[in-house]
Amino acid sequence: MYSGAVTILGSGSALPTYQNSPSGQLLTLGDKSFLIDCGEGVQLTMRQMAVKTGRLYSVFISHLHGDHCFGLIGLISTLSMMHRLQPLHIYAHADLEKLLRPMLDYHCQELSFEVVFHPINPRKQEVIFEDRTVLVETVPLKHKVPTCGFLFTERHRKKDAETGAFHYETSKRYAYISDTMYSEKIIPQIEGVDMLFHESTYTEEHAERCRGTMHSTAKQAAAIAQAAHAKRLLIGHFSARVDDHTQFLREAQEVFPDTQLAVERTTIEF
């Protein structure tokens, strides 16, 4: 039986609190690790959790709000000080390279590895990464700036005993739905995923503010999980306005019982 795991490096929204740092997750599928978003403080959490970075192959950035990418330059610098040699591939809106390149040229002039930028179109559903074991697609979302989620599909190449032909079998699927207002358009693409992470910035008490900022409530995230027949739901990106995170969990579980909180410094297997 194949398994995946996601380590929560940050599950807060834009304003850091004593409970939460901005967004960051480390997804492990098979022998590969992928960093999804990299808010300020992500590398510190990785160090505190003794996360092994040798298997970190790529970084996927959902959008260019600071709480999802401010940690990148620090992480890159640290990886160089740790004598990383293999290239680091970053998939993000094309503007990220325009923002980071001057900082890399100024602060990381003797970088020990190559940083390879792969521009993506967040408004378009497409495959942006593919190898023999993992396929990654963008999931267009509705937010104040161009934003997309990511659908990770682990697959395994099998040989037919009779024909000798090769085919792929899907094992695990993980959907990361970053900052977005409620959108049923994503449901067909994430149908039946093993684990769905869906942002839940607000509780129903702040539903009006949620609409104004183009975010989702925990109840709305649960509705998406239910409609998509997801096996499990993980909620995070919590607003600093809500101290008691059990409110998010309670509202989501009323709609989708198999929901859990994205608690920082924990690893969830699926």
Q: Are strands 4-10 and 127-130 parallel, antiparallel or unpaired?
A: unpaired
Cβ within 8 Å of residue 61, ≥6 positions away: 37, 38, 68, 69, 72, 90, 91, 92, 93, 96
Q: Which two tokens stand for residue 149?
A: 């989620």
Q: What CA–CA distance (Å, rounded) separates 68 from 110?
A: 26
Which member of 31, 37, 67, 244 is catalytic?
67
Helix (DSSP H) and strand (DSSP E) numbers for the chain? 6, 14
Respond yes or no: is residue 179 known to be catalytic: no
For residue 114, report the phi and psi dihedrals to the nearest 5 degrees.
-90, 135
Backbone angles phi and psi of 186, in degrees to 5:
-80, -15
Residue recorded with tokens 């997804």? 27
d(CA 240, CA 128): 33
Query: Is 229 within 8 Å of 1 (Cβ atoms)?
Result: no
Distance CA 220, CA 59 (A): 27
Specify the 3-state DSSP secondary structure of 154.
strand
Q: Please report, as a single letter, which amino acid is at residue 13.
A: S
Q: Is 158 helix (H, G, I), strand (E, B) or coil?
A: strand
What distance in Å separates the CA atoms of residue 43 and residue 51, rounded to the nearest whole number? 9
Q: Which tokens sit at 208?
A: 């009006």
- The catalytic site residues sit at 67
